Amino acid sequence: MGGATMDCTTIDVAAVERKGLSRPGSSKTLPRIAQIKLVSQHPEVYEPCDDSFALVDALLADRANLLLHQPTLCLEIGSGSGYVITSLAIMLGSETPTAHFFATDINPHAVETTRKTLEAHGVHAEIIVSDIASGLQKRLKGMMDVVVVNPPYVPTPEEEVGQEGITASWAGGENGRRVIDRILPIADELLSEKGWLYMVTLTENNPSEICQLMREKGYGSRIIVQRSTEEERLHVIKFWREKGDEGKEGSKFGGSGVGSWLSQLPLLSFLRNNGSSN
């Protein structure tokens, strides 16, 4: 957290947006995201930092696909300050007016902070104090078209996991995987057939193993943003169900081409599976 950013995909646009600056002549074409000066704060709530920025940058980088995706329900698990869900709501809002947003956090202060940040930007999400998605899981099974999560990924002693307050925003237990490994099956349950998951991971979390775990559940994956700071190496990974496979190829095959694309799936997934076993 903190430190110099050395390896960024979309830093220019996002950095300009975060500061609320506008580029001469181009401000209208830039997709908007949450402004840091309007993000609410609380001593027990994690402030937007490099990992939050990486996640928003990943969503921005994938925004064209998200617009084609036409999500109805979107969820952020662990919304903290509200910076990410607010940014998602802003960047999709005007062009996908049928999208609706949910946000959860285990920390009641965080949920309250999320609410203030959303309100300060004039956007809305349904907010719930919840452990990952407790209370939502049953009814929203298979309904979420987009799930985003910046999990508590920092490797810590096991006893720090699940503590109250701000600790819950980063304490990840062994290899930082304690909470991530609980989130993955829940995300799988929540995601719709066309659903996409965006998740921040740290190199210490062993992202390739996470991708392998998700592959066993039938998901393809792709790194959208990689970023190194002085302290950590972050990846934002996108997951999608291989069956529909609109994630990776959405920009190419979105819209009217989907029908013929689906008919080629058995062959393509066969090829892909063969390719990945090496």
Does 26 sit near other proteins (CB under 8 A)? no
Nearest to other proteins of 133, 210 (CB atom) = 133
Rule CB under 8 A: choose which of 134, 208, 273, 276 binds other proteins: 134
Nearest residue to 175 (alpha-carbon basis) of 157, 197, 190: 157
Of 29, 26, 91, nearest in space to 57 by CA:
91
Tell whether residue 37 is a contact of other proteins (CB under 8 A). Answer: no
Give 106 or 184: the residue with its C-beta nearer to other proteins: 106
Cα distance between residue 94 and residue 66, in whole Å = 13
- DSSP letter string over 89-156? HHHHHTT-TT-EEEEEESSHHHHHHHHHHHHHTT---EEEE-STTTTTTTTTTTTEEEEEE----B--
Q: Is 68 in the site for other proteins (CB under 8 A)?
A: no
User: Is residue 202 a contact partner of residue 229, using CB atoms and an 8 Å limit?
Assistant: no
Burial class (CB in 10 A: 0-12, 13-18, 19+), 155: middle
Which of these ranges, 93-101, 171-179, 197-205, 252-260, lies near other proteins under the rule CB under 8 A?
93-101
Q: List binders of other proteins among 69-88 (CB under 8 A).
A: 72-73
**CB 70 → other proteins: shortest distance, Å?**
9
Which amino acid is present at 216?
E
Sequence-ordered list of residues with C-beta below 8 angstroms from that of 136, at least 6 positions apart, any chain: 75, 102, 104, 128, 130, 190
Q: At residue 248, what is the residue type? A: K
Is 185 a binding residue for other proteins by CB under 8 A? The answer is no
Task: Please state the φ and ψ torsions of residue 262, each to the nearest 5 degrees.
Answer: -60, -35
Pick the binder of other proteins from 11, 38, 49, 100 (CB under 8 A). 100
Is residue 102 near other proteins by the rule CB under 8 A?
A: yes
Does position 120 interact with other proteins (CB under 8 A)? The reply is no
Segment 139-178, which members bind other proteins (CB under 8 A)?
Answer: 139-140, 143
Under the binding rule (CB under 8 A), the answer on residue 101 touching other proteins is no
Site size for other proteins (CB under 8 A): 26
CA-nearest of 4, 76, 83 to 48 is 83
Residue 124 CB, nearest approach to other proteins (Å): 8
Is residue 135 close enough to count as binding other proteins by CB under 8 A? Answer: yes
Segment contacting other proteins (CB under 8 A): 96-104, 174-182, 204-212, 252-260?
A: 96-104
Least distance CB 130 / other proteins (angstroms): 5
The pair of three-digit structure tokens given for residue 209, joined into one six-digit string = 């193993």
Q: Which is nearer to other proteins, 100 or 272 (CB)?
A: 100
Residue among 99 and 154 whose Cβ is closer to other proteins? 99
**Residue carrying the six token digits 């999608």:** 240
Q: Binding residues for other proteins, per CB under 8 A?
A: 72-73, 97-98, 100, 102, 106, 108, 111-112, 115, 124, 126-131, 134-140, 143
